[in-house]
Structure 1
Amino acid sequence: MIEFINVFKSYYGSNLKAVNGINFRVEKGKIFGFLGQNGAGKTTTIKLIIGALKPDRGKILIGGFDITENPLEVKKLISYVPDDLNIFNRLTGVEYLQFVADMYEMNRVVRQSNVEKYSKIFGIYDALNMKIESYSHGMKRKLFIVGALMHDPIVLIMDEPFNGLDVKATVDLKNILYSLKKEGKTVFFSTHMLNIAEDICDEIAIIKRGKIIYGGTLAELKLQKNNLYDLEKIYVEMMKNE
């Protein structure tokens, strides 16, 4: 469902490759975790997936469509939860959600039903008429998650989605991701939270300095590391040694 084929990306004015020849594939109906330190290339990779950046070289396929050649077809399939929450601050919550619904040409009855459903799950329904700038960090995160879910995406892309969520919202999001998986949807998210990756991911990839240093299941990773069961220790050692 998501495939990177020898993808490179450098930023203007820099010789440093933010993404340095990466290859990976995420199958339909999988929850895929993308791990790495700050500056490793996680957000750049996500921006390449959603079409906010163009690769210097290589190919990115989403649902069989090349993101460079068929950007609109890809964007119909995906939704996105950004890490940067300080956007659309002058809108109210409901204005933002209506904006998203209009972009995806959602039926008015369906949009109203889904806005109510997801905003109540995440406990922000009563705050939708407030300006987004008045929201707490956690409330903003919940609003963007609602916006990403409301049009029933085939591929859900999220950058640090659990950051700032309270315990209940974390559990609710996990349950929703499990439901999407059962429906054959694909979930790709970056995270620093190893316990969450271990809990819900079918597969992971670990990126360091723009390169994928591991891709596969957590069970396979532990086997490679002589059955060490502490993922945190394994991860820290990989960050030191690679």
Structure 2
Amino acid sequence: MTQLVPVQPPLDPDPTTQALAVRGLTKVFGSHVAVNRMSLDVPRGSIYGIVGPNGAGKTTMITMACGLARPTEGKAWIAGHDMWAEPVEAKRSLGLLADGATVFDRLSGAEYLAYLGGLRRMDPDVVQSRSTELLHALGLSDAGDKYIVDYSAGMTKKILLAGALLHNPELLVLDEPLEAVDPVSGRLIQSILRAYATAGGTVVLSSHVMNLVEGLCDHVAIIKEGVVLTAGHVDEVAQGRTLDDAFVEFVGGAALAEGSLDWLRGEQR
């Protein structure tokens, strides 16, 4: 089998034309470079997967691009707005589900959505109507009056997704959105994301689940050690392989050393 060749599509000279763009984005923690001069374009209307091994810098890049952490160097644009020069405009265009972010879990699901709508100065009637639709679509109607602290992990993911969708943003950034979500709900969420993208929205999706990315996303970037190894249309990146196989080849796969763990179920105890 031939070796995969990294794909590096040209960057748009005008990053404001992209749904999300980063240029030279860098984050240094002490002596550790978590994100290393990363540059990437996410076309409008795409469902774009960001994948990489644990510690690759995916979440760090997302938190910087979305204005939750200030970069050591570099710039980011959301729907044409410079995140650090025009933060209000950029965040107005953004819906974010951040993995591990603090949740106002002493509110019910309905109260949480009403609170987010108030923060965004949305019309209360619009918030009420959209909240009812989102809770129903995500299978949370019966949990609307239940405190989020009492939700399961999967239900919490769904109410966070509802909050990210509430204001109908131009760009939806989701960090591990289907983690702990059951298969039925996962399929439903994928349908919602496809419909959103078809209607003109853009999704950036970070996940470790290659089957999800391959089945849902039309574009993908594989990153390792804070650097983009390859990026482009899923078919261009995979080059005739499954995305899972392509991922392992690009990032390097670990193999069990000969003789390692021979004691498992062996004769000797």
- Is the Cα–Cα contact under 8 Å of residues 30 and 181 in structure 1 kept in the other structure? yes
Determine if contact 1:22/1:210 at 8 Å carries over to the other structure: yes
Instruction: State percent identity of aligned pairs.
Output: 34
Paired position in structure 2 for 1:195: 211
CA RMSD of aligned residues (A): 1.3
- Quote the offset at 1:87 in angstroms: 2.4
Instruction: Decide which of 179, 202, 218 is 1:186's aligned counterpart.
Output: 202
Task: Report the alpha carbon displacement of residue 208 of structure 1 after superposing the two structures with TM.
Answer: 0.5
Out of 53, 63, 77, the position equivalent to 1:47 is 63
1:111-132 Cα deviation digits (max 9, x unpaired)? 1111111111111111121111
Q: Distance in 2 between the 1:186 and 1:67 partners?
A: 17
Corresponding position of 1:235 = 247
- Of 86-95 and 151-160, more deviation after overlay is shown by 86-95
**CA deviation profile, 1:36-90 (whole Å, cap 9, x unmatched):** 1111111111101210111111111112211011101101100111211652222
Partner of 2:36: 20
Q: Deviations over 1:15-53 (max 9, x none)?
A: 111110111101111110000111111111110121011
Residue in 2 that maps onto 1:10: 28
Q: For 1:213, what is the secondary structure of its paired residue? A: strand
2:166 alignment partner in structure 1: 150
Query: 1: CA distance between counterparts of 2:157 and 2:238?
Result: 32
Letter of the structure 1 residue corresponding to residue 251 of structure 2: M
Q: Normalising to structure 1: TM-score of the pair? A: 0.93
Answer with 1 or 2: which has the greater Rg.
Answer: 2
| SS in structure 1 of the partner of residue 252 of structure 2 | helix
> 2:72: which partner in 1?
56
2:124 corresponds in structure 1 to: 108
1 CA distance for matches of 2:246 and 2:198? 30
SS at match of 1:96: helix
CA contact (8 A) 1:85 1:140 kept: no
Q: Unaligned 5+ residue runs, structure 1?
A: none
Report the equivalent of 1:128: 144
In structure 1, distance between residues paired with 2:101 and 2:188: 20
Which structure has the highest helix share of the two? 1
Q: Which residue of 1 aligns with 2:133?
A: 117
Name the aligned partner's letter for residue 93 of structure 1.
G
SS in 2 for 1:138: helix
Residue 250 of structure 2 aligns to which amino acid in structure 1? M
Given that 2:220 and 2:237 are in contact with CA atoms closer than 8 Å, whether structure 1 keeps it comes out as no
After alignment, is 86-95 or 143-152 more displaced? Answer: 86-95
1:189 maps to a residue whose letter is L
Give the 3 Å change call, closer, same or farther, for CA 189–117 of structure 1 in structure 2: same
Give the equivalent residue in structure 2 for 1:172: 188
State the Cα distance separating 1:152 from its structure 2 match. Answer: 0.7
Partner secondary structure for residue 214 of structure 2: helix
1:204 and 2:228 aligned? no
